[in-house]
Amino acid sequence: MAAPERFPGSDQGSTAALAAGVVVAGVSAAAVAGPLLGISPWLIALAAGGGLAALTLDAARFGGLGGHLLAEALPAGLGRARLRRIAIHEAGHVLLAAENDLPVQQVLVGSLACWRQGLRANGSTQLEPPDHAKLALEDLRRWSRVLQAGMVAESLIYGGSRGGADDRALLGRLWGLSGYDVTTAQNEQRRARREVEQWLRQRRSDLEARAEQLLAAVR
């Protein structure tokens, strides 16, 4: 099994697809509306070429994270607000990992920090992986709480979660490799999520304080 030590804060694949979709939609709209507005077809073609070149450069140089890097560098507190949401997600993992005796090896907040480590993610919490692929039920419950903590933390503070696709996928693999049926796995994960939500709700101030600590370390 792939070592389950990294927990990215968002699904970069869907983001890349969205970026390409925006470019295609923009070119299509310009091709239709351009002549009506008196815009030269050459300008539309030039803009389309520039957009595709930017996507290619982003994929080759920044692994598809270019848009995220720009968004996190926005002025007027906009970039910082985005980073804070990522920090909240990772802080959830960190707090539940400590509560469940799972050692944290590294925490990364922001696309730049992840890119420097060779990760295509907005945030990452690296934990010590389990010794065996097949885990005991109580170990699976611990991992279920920790892996869902980032999503629950986001939902608690922001009313919903943007990240966590990789967390869900890894959690599903852990349960599958351990030999449990889908119904049992789903019931246990829902139970774990309720436990995490109740725990974090009672410690919201600790969650926000830990997120601020993580945010302060962002360079």
15-62 pLDDT, tens digit each: 444 444 444 444 455 444 545 555 666 554 554 444 444 434 444 454
Q: Which residue in the block uniquely carries the two structure tokens 């480590």? A: 117
Nearest to 31 by CA among 15, 51, 17: 51
Query: For residues 24-62, b (16+ Cβ closer than 10 Å) or e, as one string?
Result: eeebeebeeebeeeeeeeeebeebbeebeeebeebeeeb
Q: What is the pLDDT averaged over residues 132-138?
A: 93
Q: Assess if residue 4 is contained within a domain.
A: no
What is the spatial distance between Cα 210 and Cα 216, in angstroms, rounded to a whole number? 10
Per-residue model confidence as pLDDT tens digits over 143-193: 999 999 999 999 999 999 988 999 999 999 999 999 999 999 999 999 999
The pTM of the full predicted model, rounded to 2 decimals, is 0.74
Range of the domain at 185: 77-216
Whether residues 161 and 181 share a domain: the answer is yes
Q: Assess if residue 3 is contained within a domain.
A: no
Whether residues 84 and 51 share a domain: the answer is no
Number of folded domains that form the chain: 2
Non-local (6+) Cβ contacts of 63 within 8 A are: 12, 115, 120
Whether residues 61 and 110 share a domain: the answer is no
